[in-house]
Structure 1
Amino acid sequence: MISRRTLAFGAVASVLFGGTFVGAKAGLSYLPPLLFVALRFDIAAVALLGYVAVTRSRADLLPRTRGDVLAILSTGLFALGLANALIFVGQQSATSAVAAIVFSLNPILTPVFAAILLSDERLSARGGLGMVVGLLGVGLVVSPDPAMLLSGGIGKLVLFAGATSAALGSVLIRWSDGGLSSTVRTAWALPVAAALCHALSVGTGESVAAAVWSPTAIAALLYVGIFAGAIAYIAYFGLLDTTGAIRANLVFYVVPVVSTLGGWALLGEAITPTAVAGFLTIFAGFAVLGTESVDLRGLLSDRTEDADAVADSLGFADEPRGFESD
């Protein structure tokens, strides 16, 4: 059974991450990409560090084991820093739709790393089918121009590298087996991610003077820093600890759905019949994944035993059942 906490984390992460690609595309018109993502992590780090400082005891805040340190570095360097740096750079030469569909390869890549590094996470044949069906649904929802998918090869390769880094990071977090809570671990990891992206920004010759501080740029930065940053990270990494890397990364199948619905509700964008078919296809993929742990034979056996117990309690246990022909 899926707990309410798991459902809440999944919904929050999906909704808030859903605006990331749109916010990034808007902000990239005014801010250099690596500086943009570095500032995003600066804002998220200040917000989340302030939150855990107020809500956690000192004992809960301090990393104590090698696993804690590895989990922080895995989060900061791979799941956040490198993944987002590559996404923001890649979006310079790709639309939000193309970026969303390329990054939705993340759930497909995660089981590959999990098979190598984790003994308790394996993808069954049914799970693999569900993921492929879900990815097909993402393609229908986003429905990018085929010519657009074939062009801009470098940008898509960079985006694919970002999806790979995020998938690897999520598995490494589980592999490190640290004892910190997901929120505290993320609070420590955000400064690591910010430092990495600032170093990449300086190393590639980006200049702060090139930034244009328009209202759109500030709004985009605040959104990806606070809402799609600190708050979404609490939900996503909490989901990662609760459900595992493979299932947690399924939120990236829902992100294009949220983006499409948000565009319809807030911007008056039309939802095509193909997108509706995509919604249903993603739901079908989730249904396949959700039933892979259900043992139908065991379920039927349990129900038979329950029926026998009821009959026995009513005194019908010895009564003849069914029909007997002459």
Structure 2
Amino acid sequence: MVEKRALAFFALASVFFGGVFVAAKAGQAYFPPLLFVALRFDVAAAVLLGYAAVTTAREDLLPRTRGDVAGILATGVLAIGLANGLLFVGQQYVSSAVGSIIFSLSPIFTPLLAAFLLSDERLSRRGTVGVLVGLLGVAFVVGVNPENLLGGGVVGKAIILGSAASAALGSVLIHRADGTLSSTVRTAWALPVSALMVHGMSLGAGESLSAVSWTPAAFAALVYVSVFAGAVAYIAYFGLLDQVGAIRASLVFYVSPVVATLGGWALLGESISLSTVAGFGVIFAGFAILGSEDSEGWLPEFVARLPTGGSSKVLTDGGRDTECRTGCDAD
């Protein structure tokens, strides 16, 4: 994740997804939860489909392979639709802090699912340590302890746990599908699928537009979750997924609680404790551990790519440099 594009995607997705917890807390005072999500997808789909139509060649807009269709369905049904529907419903029963740390289990689910469903993604021992250290940091940030995680609100916690599992499974299946569509076009096709699914869930739950209170604050919350935490964040996250894989892209959900905590402090007047500050440091340590494994092979790879002028240095058993020119025996 050293490329500027990947870092930009990571930052955008982390910030905008983190803001969802703050916006959802404010917006659910005006919207029924599933209808809030469905309207979010309606707006995000219109924005992203328009953006894709303007920025993408016509021949690259239509799905052409089974992998394209599979990627659209995995995105629309699991990674976006079900994950967000369950998250917004579950947040009715638990605090933002508890909800954010439970959803942050997604990076734990992702490598477990990838081990079974992907042949090219495995988390090393060092990577596992980094993920677990990052999760510990999230727990510090949101101030959650085992007592209040296991205490009341079991239904809400189970729903959000299902949301995290759905997001992780969707991300792994997108990577497995290996489609030909760009992440932006794939997400643009997926959002209408998500919208239709969640509108159906909303109708089934007995929600209606008459229950919506259309105030300036309601419009602001809807615009944020639809455009910024919707269209823009999805472009960033799924672009990151295509670049770095399911496991590392899922680490966005470690940074999101940090953003949610800072947003709550800045916009809702929530306090930040010393344990929160310590948690930021622990999360950074987790990223440092995870990132360090990517740098192990950079020096040999760099040296191997240096121009040799028709010769290359080979280290013998005795530790001496010997020269092997083109045409040498492979042994």
**TM-score, with length taken from structure 1:** 0.89
Q: Does 1:271 align with 2:239?
A: no
The Cα of 1:145 is off from its aligned counterpart by 6.6
Note the 1:192-231 alignment, pairs <5 A. Answer: 192-231=193-232
Query: 2:61 matched to which residue of 1?
Result: 61
Letter in 1 for 2:280: F
CA deviation profile, 1:241-267 (whole Å, cap 9, x unmatched): 000000001011001111223334445
Which stretch shifts more, 23-32 or 276-285? Answer: 23-32
Q: Does 1:71 align with 2:71?
A: yes
CA deviation profile, 1:203-230 (whole Å, cap 9, x unmatched): 1211221111122221111110000000
Query: 1:241 matched to which residue of 2?
Result: 242
- Aligned CA distance change for structure 1 residues 163 and 297 (closer, same or farther; 3 Å): closer
CA deviation profile, 1:30-52 (whole Å, cap 9, x unmatched): 11111110000000000000111
Query: 1:292 matched to which residue of 2?
Result: 293
Letter in 1 for 2:80: L
In structure 1, distance between residues paired with 2:207 and 2:265: 35
CA deviation profile, 1:50-100 (whole Å, cap 9, x unmatched): 111111111010100111000000000000000000000000111111111
Query: 1:180 matched to which residue of 2?
Result: 181
Query: 2:323 matched to which residue of 1?
Result: none
Q: Does 1:112 align with 2:112?
A: yes
In structure 2, distance between residues paired with 1:99 and 1:274: 18
In structure 2, distance between residues paired with 1:173 and 1:186: 11
Q: Does 1:42 align with 2:35?
A: no
Query: 1:323 matched to which residue of 2?
Result: none
Letter in 1 for 2:105: L
Query: What RMSD, in angstroms, separates the aligned Cα atoms of the two structures?
Result: 2.2
Matched residue pairs, number? Answer: 305
In structure 1, distance between residues paired with 2:246 and 2:127: 13
Q: Does 1:160 align with 2:161?
A: yes
CA deviation profile, 1:145-195 (whole Å, cap 9, x unmatched): 765432101000000000000000000001111000000000000000000
Partner-residue secondary structure (3-state), 1:139: helix
Letter in 2 for 1:123: L
**TM-score, with length taken from structure 2:** 0.88
Note the 1:23-42 alignment, pairs <5 A. Answer: 23-42=23-42
- Aligned CA distance change for structure 1 residues 64 and 133 (closer, same or farther; 3 Å): same
| Larger helix share, 1 or 2 | 1
In structure 1, distance between residues paired with 2:107 and 2:298: 29
The Cα of 1:239 is off from its aligned counterpart by 0.1
Letter in 2 for 1:117: L
In structure 2, distance between residues paired with 1:288 and 1:210: 48
Q: Unaligned 5+ residue runs, structure 1?
A: 303-308, 310-316, 318-326
Query: 1:262 matched to which residue of 2?
Result: 263
In structure 1, distance between residues paired with 2:128 and 2:218: 40
